[in-house]
Structure 1
Amino acid sequence: HVLLGHSLAAGEGVNPLGDELVELIEPWWSAGPCV
């Protein structure tokens, strides 16, 4: 979760492993209560 959070905060291209995780996870947040 650290790599994912860093990638989301820093932006694409800074953290290649985090960028890969962003592509792999489902957008679970899009239908949740935080929208």
Structure 2
Amino acid sequence: EAETELAAATLDRDRAYQDLNDFHSKHDEEINA
């Protein structure tokens, strides 16, 4: 059960990082446009 919670937490963290990367990518595109 602890491993499942850890995997879920890691997945949430990875998703948050991906959202952050997407946000920065869009921001960079706007600056460079």
Same fold (TM over 0.5): no
More helix by share: 2
Higher relative contact order (CA 8 A, sep 6+): 1
Q: TM (normalized to structure 2)?
A: 0.31
Q: Which has the larger radius of gyration?
A: 2
